[in-house]
């Protein structure tokens, strides 16, 4: 049964009429028309659907939307400043050209932001550990690692 | 060249050069199927341009001062859009950001067959280069006539033509028309010494769109009134539908708009996407199927595929290999195996289809919009002009994944539910279980060395299934068309040439015979990045290391002794120089490998440093190097990105991947039953590009796979003494 729910996404409150069991991913993509979170596996195995939930990278493909009520949801769109200025992690991905097809990029950027919020200067092992949940098939991980090192240096000199 | 059936027109000379007589070869089987390298010649226009010679088939001048380039290729993450913009911008003296690229669309862009086989730079980008150069000539001639000035006094300047005080934009000069002249030789190309864009690491503009979460993919399409759909695939290949309880399903999921049952094809259309997800899960539980033929027990797939009935062809024969046994020196024999591999796109296949006013529109990430149009039209018995196929990027595919199938599925659903765009998203389970895999292969090699350590004889056999069953205009290659009430049968064999790609070593060996044996294996197969080159180079370059050891030679020196092509020697020597100072720690080893893709395209040498511990059976790839010569470089960072990614992807295939199946069907249905590299597995990478501005530009996306596999197993051997001949690498497997 559908219900009216209010969730906070990218610092704005949105009221949607959906089945409360609907995974957050479909609400973000279809009701809110956001492109950042992607469907990859629907099993929390690949990380393509990552969002920040109260600042922490969380897969959204199985998470019932009702459990995200009252939490701050941030998607890839929400990282860009209102004037269009990119977040340092987004900028580092562009500068390092850290993508091929780019389908995994949402999960990569969101996970990197989450990691750099928790640890200002993660070492190589910590970066890899922080990114372990997100799969890339094009093999751009070596570029993604460079982008995260760059973002860490620039955000926390 | 890849899967040549629907690729229009390479030049005859190029065709013979790259294909040998493979496409025509089964009637000319006496001739060798591979060809010797030849110097590049500009004796003809690129094939697609000869087929579609009008300038405006490739290039349009826009009112806003920009230029739009039309390509029949699709952006797959390989950066072709940027490379094409670069070559057009170069010839027209424009900023490459002012060149828009319109990707593959039937009725709109040139027919360029498939975006496959590393051919996009060679064919599409070169067609655009010549079309843009011809456009430049024509624009200058028009301005010269208008101002009554000699062409030498005119110049192009970012979308304008200037001549002293006179200045006009391209659009003003054309006054609402387009350049309809045909491109004919001779075409004056811009001198390479004046290049501003080509050869540089021009950043891809689409990466910024991706980080800004702009709509980029077919998955991001949202058309007015769009509805959602899922399909319910059978339990097994060829299974027949016994029962489907539509009433129960509609009761359980109220948002169902329509269920589509057509023979063994089952699809569900809903208002909300989550309803489609629930309906699919429920329908999978309640739908009954009758399975026909069980799959074989895959415990010993290597032996199994060799015992299947096969058709054999001699790929190459030189000298007299029969004297292998009787000659002097020493001999060596080895057998190698690679399992079925998955494309494993991160985003499962997706398509949107709309049937309205007698016309079917399909938005798809298929690599071939025209061949798909042809196959879908036949499946649905529609006229060609009633099927409009628009290419939209999807998740990286690395070959023929579920893209065409999901498009055909969506087409069936849209025909059954006219007037609304139907978005069909395959589930992870659909993609893993139903995509066509890269064939399992068995390779056997035998060689003789003379007393000086040179190879005198070489005998090689490869057992393989087809490496392309793309639609190619044949509906029987689409899952949906095989499932419907009046099914199309699957064509008996696909493109078999892929199986012996790179089966001939690129070394000077006087007596040599290469044979290929084609079987029809248990799993659905098609083109996976580099086709058979991965398996063949894995075997040949592992065997080269084994031979080097037998000859008591350094592995790179041993290769250099058998190479004659200067460009091949250059990449191997550069790799040698790059890794010379590397000192491995205990338990570590460095391995090397080389190949020239298809033996006529890109040169690539790869080194890997690994840590291998037989006690724990753990192998960690620490670093990989690559030296690549793809001829004239169009986008330097594009070549690097493709090569880094190629090494990492192929390292994942080599170390981790194997499609598993049981008697019923494929059992690798998610990322835990088909694990691939994660961040903890990924090595550091370093790529050195040798740019050859005067050589023909070549695709770079498929050169690293084969050498990567061999460099890894060669490194493992050096690290721990264990020779891996059966993939994926498992140190605890007894071979």
Question: Which pLDDT tens digit goes with each residue over B576-589?
Answer: 999 999 988 999 99
Q: Determine the length of chain B.
A: 735
The chain A residue lying nearest B429, using CA atoms, is: A41
User: Which among B207, B398, B679 has CB closest to A132?
Assistant: B679
Asked if pLDDT for residue B17 goes beyond 70, the answer is: no
- Mean pLDDT, range B502-525, rounded to an integer: 97
Task: Report the distance separating Cα B627 and Cα B690, nearest Å.
Answer: 7
Chain A residues with CB-CB distance to B206 below 8 A: 102
Query: Rounded to an integer, what distance in angstroms lies between the CA atom of residue A62 and that of residue A40?
Result: 12
| Cβ-based contacts of B79 with chain A (< 8 Å) | 100
H or E element that contains A125: helix A124-131
**Confidence at B327, pLDDT banded by 50, 70, 90:** confident
Give the N- to C-terminal CA distance of chain A in Å, as an integer.
Answer: 51
- CATH number (3.30.70.260, 3.30.450.150, 3.30.365.10, 3.40.50.300) of B302-340+437-720 reads 3.30.365.10
* Cis preceding-peptide flag for B186 (omega within 30 of 0): yes
Given a contact cutoff of 8 angstroms between Cβ atoms, the answer to whether B345 and A138 are in contact is no
Chain A residues with CB under 8 Å of B76 CB are 101
Does any CB of chain B come closer than 8 Å to the CB of residue A100?
A: yes
Of B292, B275, B195, the closest CA to residue B229 belongs to B275
Query: What pLDDT shows up at residue B733?
Result: 86
Contact between A110 and A57 (Cβ < 8 Å) = yes
- State which fold the A3-79 domain adopts: Ubiquitin-like (UB roll) (3.10.20)
CA B700, B703, B705, B708 torsion: positive or negative? negative
Task: Pick A143's closest partner by Cβ from B644, B649, B680.
Answer: B644
- B486 contacts chain A (CB < 8 A): no
CATH number of B45-203: 3.30.365.10
Residues of B in contact with A103 (CB under 8 A): 77, 217, 345-347, 394-396
Contact flag A90-B641 (C-beta cutoff 8 Å): no
Beta carbons of A135 and B427 less than 8 Å apart: no
At residue B264, the 3 state secondary structure works out as coil
Q: What is the dihedral of CA A18, A22, A25, A26, to 10 degrees?
A: -50
Chain centre to alpha carbon of residue A4:
25
Q: Supply the pLDDT for residue B26.
A: 29
Give mean pLDDT, residues B416-441: 98
| Partner B contacted by A66 (CB < 8 A) | no
What's the pLDDT tens digit per position in A44-75? 999 999 999 999 999 999 999 999 999 999 99
Indicate the residue of B396, B672, B683 with minimum beta-carbon distance to A137: B396
State how far the Cα of B515 lies from the Cα of B492, in Å rounded to an integer: 21
Bridge partner list, B603? B596, B629
Average pLDDT of chain B to the nearest whole number: 93
pLDDT of residue A121: 94
pLDDT at B371 over 70: yes
The shortest C-alpha distance from B431 to chain A (Å) reads 10
Which region among A90-104, B115-129, B141-155 has the lowest average model confidence (pLDDT)? Answer: B115-129
On the 0-12 / 13-18 / 19+ scale of CB atoms within 10 A, B263 is middle
By three-state DSSP, how is residue B395 classified?
coil
Give contacts of B346 with chain A, Cβ < 8 Å: 38, 40, 46, 48, 101, 103-104, 135-137
What pLDDT score does A24 carry? 98
Which of B211, B647, B670 comes nearest A139 by C-beta?
B647
Classify burial at A123, counting beta carbons within 10 Å of its beta carbon; exposed 0-12, middle 13-18, buried 19 or more.
exposed
- Tell me if chain A has a CB within 8 Å of the CB of B673: no
A 124-153 residues with CB < 8 A to B: 127-129, 131-132, 134-143, 145
For residue B254, how many other CB atoms are within 10 A of its CB?
12
- Give the pLDDT band of residue B1 (cuts 50, 70, 90): very low
By Cβ distance, the residue of B77, B211, B216 closest to A100 is B77
Q: Which of B434, B440, B438 is nearest to B304 (CA)?
A: B440
Question: What is the pLDDT averaged over residues B469-483?
Answer: 95
Whole-angstrom CA distances from B495 to A16, B208, B398, B477, B695 are 50, 38, 17, 12, 29
Cβ distance B268 to B260 under 8 Å?
yes
Question: Which CATH architecture fits B218-291+343-434?
Answer: 2-Layer Sandwich (3.30)
355-384 in chain B: CB under 8 A from chain A? none
B29 in A contact zone (CB under 8 Å): no
Selected residue with higher pLDDT from A18 and B733: A18
Closest approach of A105 to chain B, Cα-based (Å): 7
Is residue B664 pLDDT above 50, yes or no? yes
- Kindly state the tokens that stand for B652: 């994942």
Rounded Cα distance, A65 and B38, in Å: 62
As a whole number, mean pLDDT of residues B356-372 equals 98
**Cβ within 8 Å, pair A101-B395:** yes
- Interchain contact, A75 vs B213, CB within 8 Å: yes
Average pLDDT over residues B491-501: 83
Predicted confidence (pLDDT) at residue B386 exceeds the cutoff of 50: yes
Q: With CB atoms and an 8 Å threshold, state whether A101 touches B211.
A: no
- Tell me, rounded to whole angstroms, the distance of Cα B332 from its chain centroid: 34
Contact A145 B682 (CB under 8 A): yes
Q: What is the pLDDT of residue B507?
A: 98
Instruction: Check for a shared fold between B218-291+343-434 and B302-340+437-720.
Output: yes
Q: Could you check whether the bond before residue B349 is cis, i.e. omega within 30 degrees of 0?
A: no
Distance CA B380, CA B412 (A): 8
B690 Cβ under 8 Å from any chain A Cβ: no
Q: Residues of CATH 3.10.20.30 domain(s) within chain A?
A: 3-79
Backbone angles phi, psi at B48, to 5 degrees: -60, -30
Sequence spans of domains, chain B: 45-203, 218-291+343-434, 302-340+437-720
Whether residue B70 contacts residue B188, with contact meaning beta carbons closer than 8 Å, is answered with no
Q: Would you place residue B299 in the very low, low, confident or very high pLDDT band (cuts 50, 70, 90)?
A: confident
Residues in chain A within 8 Å Cβ distance of B216: 35, 102
Extended beta strands in B244-372, E state: 256-262, 265-270, 288-290, 310-318, 330-338, 350-356, 359-364
CA gap B628, B636 in Å, rounded: 11
CA-CA distance, B72 to B274, in Å (whole number)?
Answer: 35
Residue B298 — very low, low, confident or very high, per pLDDT cuts 50/70/90? low
Contacts of A137 in chain B (CB under 8 A): 344-346, 395-396, 398, 649, 676
State the CB neighbour count (10 A cutoff) for residue B185: 11
pLDDT at B708 over 60: yes
Contacts of residue A131 in chain B, CB cutoff 8 Å?
679
Nearby residues of B721 by Cβ (< 8 Å), 6 or more positions away: none
Given the candidates 1.10.150.120, 3.30.1490.20, 1.10.10.10, 3.30.420.40, the CATH classification of the domain at A88-155 is 1.10.150.120
DSSP string, B608-673: EEEEEETTTTEEEEEEEEEEEE-SS-S-HHHHHHHHHHHHHHHHHHHHH----B-SSSB---STTT
Q: Taking CB atoms and an 8 Å cutoff, what residues of chain A touch B395?
A: 101, 103, 137
Measured distance between the N- and C-terminal CA atoms of chain B, rounded to whole angstroms: 35
- Are B277 and A42 within 8 A, CB to CB? yes
Q: Which of A98, A101, A142 sits opposite B77 (nearest CB)?
A: A101
Provide CB contacts within 8 A for B313, sequence distance 6+: B25, B26, B29, B33, B496, B500, B515, B516, B518
pLDDT at B7: 37
Q: Which positions 227-266 of B are in contact with A (Cβ < 8 Å)?
A: none
- Residue B735 has a pLDDT of 63
* Cβ distance of B220 and A77 shorter than 8 Å: no
Measured at the CA of B47, the angle between CA B42 and CA B52, to 5 degrees, comes to: 120
- The tens digit of pLDDT for each residue in B229-242 reads 999 999 999 999 99
Confidence (pLDDT) at B362: 98
Do A109 and B211 count as a contact with CB atoms less than 8 A apart? yes
Q: In this structure, are residues B183 and B131 in contact, taking their beta carbons and an 8 Å threshold? A: yes
Q: Is the pLDDT of residue A88 over 90?
A: yes
Which residue in chain A is spatially nearest to B205 when comparing CA positions? A94
CA gap B607, B625 in Å, rounded: 5
Give residue B297's pLDDT band: very low, low, confident or very high (50, 70, 90): confident
**CATH 1.10.150.120 intervals, chain A:** 88-155
Contact B650, B709 (CB under 8 A): yes
C-alpha span between B383 and B381 (Å, rounded) = 7
Q: Is A39 on the interface with B (CB under 8 A)?
A: yes
């Amino acid at each position: 049964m559908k219900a009216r729910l209010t969730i906070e996404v990218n610092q704005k409150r949105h009221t949607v009429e959906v089945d409360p069991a609907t995974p957050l991913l479909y609400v973000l993509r279809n009701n809110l028309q956001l492109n950042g979170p992607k469907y990859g596996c629907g099993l929390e195995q690949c990380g393509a659907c990552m969002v920040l939930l109260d600042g922490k990278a969380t897969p959204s493909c199985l998470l019932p939307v009702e459990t995200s009520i009252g939490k701050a949801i941030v998607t890839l769109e929400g990282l860009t400043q209102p004037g269009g200025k990119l977040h340092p992690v987004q900028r580092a991905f562009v500068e390092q050209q850290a993508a091929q097809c780019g389908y995994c990029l949402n999960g990569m950027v969101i996970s990197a932001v989450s990691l750099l919020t928790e640890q200002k200067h993660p070492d190589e092992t910590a970066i890899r550990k922080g990114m372990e949940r997100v799969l890339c098939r094009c093999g751009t991980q070596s570029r993604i690692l460079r982008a995260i090192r760059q973002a860490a240096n620039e955000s926390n000199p | 060249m890849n899967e040549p059936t629907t690729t229009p027109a390479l030049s005859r000379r190029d065709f013979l050069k790259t294909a040998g007589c493979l496409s025509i070869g089964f009637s000319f089987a006496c001739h060798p199927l591979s060809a010797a390298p030849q110097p590049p010649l500009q004796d003809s226009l690129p094939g697609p341009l000869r087929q579609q010679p009008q300038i405006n088939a490739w290039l349009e001048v826009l009112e806003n001062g920009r230029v739009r380039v039309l390509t029949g290729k699709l952006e797959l993450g390989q950066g072709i859009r940027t490379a094409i913009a670069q070559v057009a911008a170069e010839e027209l003296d424009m900023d490459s950001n002012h060149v828009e690229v319109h990707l593959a669309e039937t009725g709109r862009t040139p027919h360029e067959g498939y975006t496959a086989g590393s051919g996009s730079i060679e064919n599409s980008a070169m067609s655009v280069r010549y079309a843009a150069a011809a456009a430049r000539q024509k624009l200058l001639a028009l301005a010269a006539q208008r101002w009554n000035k000699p062409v030498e006094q005119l110049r192009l300047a970012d979308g304008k033509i200037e001549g002293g005080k006179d200045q006009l934009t391209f659009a003003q000069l054309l006054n609402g028309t387009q350049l309809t002249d045909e491109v004919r030789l001779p075409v004056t190309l811009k001198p390479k010494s004046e290049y501003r864009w080509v050869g540089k690491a021009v950043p891809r503009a689409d990466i910024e769109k991706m980080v800004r979460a702009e709509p980029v993919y077919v998955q991001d399409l949202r058309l007015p009134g769009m509805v959602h759909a899922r399909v319910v695939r059978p339990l097994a290949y060829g299974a027949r539908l016994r029962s489907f309880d539509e009433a129960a399903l509609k009761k359980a999921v109220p948002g169902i708009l329509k269920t589509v049952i057509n023979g063994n094809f089952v699809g569900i259309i809903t208002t909300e996407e989550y309803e489609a997800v629930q309906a699919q899960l429920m329908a999978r539980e309640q739908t009954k199927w009758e399975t026909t033929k069980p799959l074989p027990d895959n415990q010993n797939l290597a032996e199994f595929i060799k015992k299947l009935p096969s058709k054999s062809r001699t790929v190459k024969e030189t000298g007299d290999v029969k004297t292998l046994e009787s000659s002097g020196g020493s001999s060596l024999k080895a057998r190698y195996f690679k399992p079925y591999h998955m494309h494993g796109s991160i985003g499962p296949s997706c398509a949107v289809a709309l049937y309205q006013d007698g016309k079917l529109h399909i938005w798809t990430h298929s690599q071939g919009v025209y061949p798909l149009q042809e196959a879908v039209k036949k499946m649905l018995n529609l006229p060609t002009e009633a099927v409009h196929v628009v290419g939209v990027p999807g998740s990286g595919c690395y070959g023929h994944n579920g893209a065409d199938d999901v498009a055909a599925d969506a087409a069936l659903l849209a025909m059954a539910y006219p007037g609304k765009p139907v978005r069909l998203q395959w589930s992870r389970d659909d993609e893993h279980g139903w995509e066509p895999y890269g064939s399992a292969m068995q390779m056997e090699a035998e060689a003789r060395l003379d007393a000086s350590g040179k190879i005198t004889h070489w005998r090689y056999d490869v057992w393989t299934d087809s490496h392309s069953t793309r639609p190619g205009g044949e509906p029987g290659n689409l899952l949906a068309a095989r499932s419907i009430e009046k099914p199309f049968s699957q064509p008996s064999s696909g493109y078999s040439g892929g199986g012996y790609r790179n089966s001939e070593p690129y070394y000077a060996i006087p007596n040599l015979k290469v044979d290929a044996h084609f079987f029809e294996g248990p799993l659905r197969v098609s083109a996976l990045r580099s086709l058979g080159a991965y398996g063949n180079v894995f075997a040949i370059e592992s065997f080269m290391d084994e031979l080097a050891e037998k000859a008591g030679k350094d592995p790179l020196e041993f290769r250099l002794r058998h190479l004659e092509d200067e460009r091949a020697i250059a990449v191997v020597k550069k790799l040698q120089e790059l890794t010379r100072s590397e000192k491995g720690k205990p338990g570590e080893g460095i391995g090397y490998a080389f190949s020239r893709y298809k033996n006529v395209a890109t040169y690539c040498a790869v080194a890997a440093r690994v840590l291998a511990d037989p006690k724990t059976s753990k192998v960690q790839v620490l670093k990989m190097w690559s030296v690549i010569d793809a001829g004239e470089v169009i986008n330097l960072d594009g070549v690097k990105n493709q090569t880094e990614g190629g090494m990492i992807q192929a390292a994942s295939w080599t170390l981790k991947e194997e499609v598993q199946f049981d008697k019923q069907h494929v059992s690798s249905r998610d990322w835990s039953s088909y694990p691939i590299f994660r961040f903890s597995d990924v090595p550091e990478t370093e790529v050195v590009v040798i740019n050859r501005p005067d050589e023909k530009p070549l695709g770079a996306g498929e050169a690293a796979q084969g050498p990567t596999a061999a460099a890894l197993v060669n490194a493992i051997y050096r690290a721990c003494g264990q020779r891996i001949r059966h993939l994926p690498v498992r140190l605890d497997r007894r071979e």
